[in-house]
C-alpha cells in the first residue's frame, strides 16, 4: 500500500514522542523504524521533517517569543538581568561528504534560584556550524544585562559600553590549578585551590538568600578572601618559571579575577557558570550516542527540542506531560497569548 501524507492531528499526537526520544539521546531514524511498525500508512521521512518544523515553531513561539511581538526574538531573556552562557562542540556531517566537521551548540540560561528571584528558569539552545563570535552577539543582540561566561574570546563581542556586562567563572579559574596540582603536586596550586574553596564555603551559606543579604555576607566574608587571593597570586608569579603550567594558571586567574569581582557587590550574580554547564550535560550525553548531526537543519531541530524539554525540566515538569498539555491547546490559542502555554504557566495550573 502506498504511503499517505499524514494528518496534522497525527503530527500533534506523535510530536511529544519524537521530542521525548530526542531528549533521551536517541536518533530520529531509529525512532522512525519503531514508528513504522505502528503507523505503516504514514510517510515517515515527511513526518520527521514536519515534526522537526513543529519543534522549531514551538521553540521560537513559546520559548523565545512569548510576548506580544511573535516576530521579535529574545523577549524571554530581555527581562532577565543575569544570564549564564556556554558552548560545546558537536560533530556535523559535512555536506557532500562522509566526513564530519566541528559544529557548536550554544546555551543561554536564566536561573534565579540561587537568590530566590521571581522569574521562572529558562534555557535556550542554538546550533551553529562553527564557533565564530558573531553567533553569541547575534543570539543576544540588544541584551544589556549580566552574562556569566568563561574566558572564550568569542563572547567578548557581547561586552562593552552600552552592551552586556561580563561575570567571569571562578570554577574555570579553579580547574587550572586542579590540573597543575594533579600533574605536578604543586604546593602553590594546592593553596590556590584551598583559598578558592573558602569562597565557595561562603556561597554555600549565601544560597537561597535575597540579593541584599548575599551582598552583605560577601562583603563581610568573601571580599577579604578574594582580595587576599588576588594579592597572593601576584606575589607568587615572580617566584616561578614564567613558562610553567603553574605560571599560566596564575596569569589566567589574574586576568579573570577582576571580571569575577562584580559578584561581591551584586547579590544576583553567581561565583561560577555552573547553571550553563549543567544545561550542557544532556547535550553531551546525546552527542555521545548520536555521534554527529546529519545536517545543519537537524542540529537546529535538536537545539529546539532541547530548549523545550530542558526548560520544562528546569521548571520541575515532566516534559512529556507539558508537551501533551500544550499541543492539545496550541491550535486554537491566540498567537498574542502564547505565553499562557509556556512551561511555567502549566506548572502554575498544575500546582
- pLDDT, tens digit, for every residue of 306-317? 888 888 899 999
Q: Quick check: 29 and 51 in contact, CB under 8 A?
A: no
- pLDDT, tens digit, for every residue of 200-211? 999 999 999 999
Bin 152: left if φ > 0, else alpha if -120 < ψ < 50, else beta: beta
Q: Does pLDDT of 194 surpass 90?
A: yes
Cα separation, 321 vs 307, in Å, equals: 15
3-state secondary structure of 208: coil
Q: Pick the residue with more confidence: 240 or 283?
A: 240
Q: Pick the residue with more confidence: 215 or 20?
A: 215
pLDDT of residue 308: 81
Q: Does pLDDT of 6 surpass 80?
A: no
Number of other CB atoms surrounding residue 12 within 10 Å: 17
Cα separation, 342 vs 97, in Å, equals: 40
Residues near 84 by Cβ (< 8 Å), separated by ≥ 6?
Answer: 107, 108, 109, 110, 111, 147, 148, 149, 270, 273, 274, 275, 276, 279
- Residue 343 half-sphere exposure toward CB, CA atoms < 13 A: 26
Q: Which of 5-14, 108-117, 220-229, 289-298 has the highest mean pLDDT?
A: 220-229
Q: Does pLDDT of 265 surpass 90?
A: yes
Return the minimum-mean-pLDDT range out of 27-36, 183-192, 275-284, 339-348.
27-36
Return the minimum-mean-pLDDT range out of 105-119, 185-199, 253-267.
105-119
Look at the block and give the residue holding cell 536561573: 111
pLDDT of residue 175: 97
For the record, the C-alpha cell of 259 comes out as 571580571
Alpha-helix residue ranges (DSSP H) falling in the chain: 8-23, 28-38, 44-58, 75-78, 134-139, 170-184, 187-206, 211-217, 223-236, 245-260, 274-290, 296-314, 319-330, 343-350
Could you tell me what percent of the chain has a pLDDT over 70? Answer: 73
Q: Pick the residue with more confidence: 288 or 72?
A: 288
Q: Does pLDDT of 192 surpass 90?
A: yes
pLDDT of residue 39: 44
Q: Quick check: 166 and 174 in contact, CB under 8 A?
A: no
3-state secondary structure of 101: strand
pLDDT of residue 140: 86
Q: Pick the residue with more confidence: 342 or 258?
A: 258
Q: Pick the residue with more confidence: 10 or 189?
A: 189
Q: Does pLDDT of 109 surpass 60?
A: yes
Cα separation, 322 vs 309, in Å, equals: 9
pLDDT of residue 268: 95
pLDDT of residue 211: 95
Cα separation, 277 vs 289, in Å, equals: 19
Q: Tell which residue, 156, 319, 157, 170, has the closest CA to residue 253.
A: 170
pLDDT of residue 288: 62
Backbone φ, ψ for residue 4 (5° rounding): -115, 155
Q: Pick the residue with more confidence: 156 or 49?
A: 156
Over residues 106-128, the mean pLDDT reads 89
Amino acid at each position: 500500500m502506498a504511503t499517505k501524507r499524514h494528518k496534522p492531528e497525527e503530527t500533534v499526537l506523535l510530536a511529544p514522542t519524537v521530542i521525548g526520544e530526542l531528549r533521551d539521546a536517541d536518533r530520529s531514524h531509529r525512532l522512525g523504524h519503531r514508528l513504522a511498525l505502528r503507523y505503516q500508512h504514514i510517510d515517515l521521512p515527511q513526518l520527521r521533517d514536519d515534526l522537526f518544523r513543529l519543534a522549531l515553531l514551538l521553540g521560537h513561539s513559546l520559548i523565545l517569543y512569548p510576548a506580544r511581538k511573535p516576530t521579535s526574538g529574545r523577549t524571554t531573556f530581555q527581562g532577565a538581568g543575569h544570564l549564564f552562557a556556554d558552548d560545546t562542540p558537536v560533530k556535523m556531517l559535512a555536506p557532500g561528504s562522509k566526513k564530519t566537521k566541528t559544529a557548536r551548540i550554544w546555551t543561554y540560561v536564566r536561573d534565579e534560584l540561587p537568590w530566590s528571584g521571581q522569574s521562572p528558569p529558562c534555557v535556550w539552545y542554538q546550533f551553529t556550524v562553527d564557533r565564530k563570535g558573531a553567533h553569541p552577539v547575534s543570539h543576544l543582540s540588544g541584551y544589556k544585562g549580566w552574562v556569566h561566561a568563561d574566558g572564550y574570546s568569542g563572547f567578548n563581542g557581547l561586552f562593552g559600553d552600552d552592551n552586556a556586562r561580563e561575570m567571569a567563572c571562578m570554577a574555570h579559574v579553579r580547574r587550572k590549578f586542579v590540573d597543575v596540582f594533579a600533574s605536578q603536586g604543586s604546593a602553590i596550586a594546592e593553596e590556590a585551590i584551598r583559598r578558592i574553596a573558602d569562597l565557595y564555603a561562603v556561597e554555600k551559606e549565601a544560597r537561597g538568600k535575597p540579593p541584599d543579604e548575599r551582598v552583605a555576607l560577601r562583603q563581610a566574608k568573601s571580599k577579604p578572601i578574594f582580595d587576599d587571593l588576588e594579592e597572593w597570586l601576584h606575589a607568587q608569579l615572580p617566584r616561578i618559571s614564567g613558562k610553567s603550567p603553574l605560571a599560566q594558571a596564575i596569569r589566567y586567574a589574574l586576568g579573570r579575577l577582576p571580571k569575577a569581582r562584580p559578584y561581591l557587590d551584586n547579590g544576583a550574580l553567581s561565583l561560577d557558570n555552573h547553571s550553563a554547564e549543567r544545561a550542557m550535560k544532556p547535550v553531551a550525553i546525546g552527542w555521545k550516542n548520536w555521534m554527529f548531526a546529519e545536517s545543519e537543519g537537524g542540529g537546529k531541530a535538536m537545539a529546539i527540542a532541547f530548549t523545550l524539554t530542558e526548560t520544562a525540566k528546569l521548571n520541575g515538569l515532566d516534559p512529556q506531560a507539558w508537551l501533551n498539555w500544550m499541543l492539545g491547546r496550541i491550535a486554537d490559542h491566540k498567537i498574542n497569548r502564547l505565553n499562557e502555554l509556556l512551561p511555567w504557566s502549566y506548572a502554575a495550573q498544575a500546582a
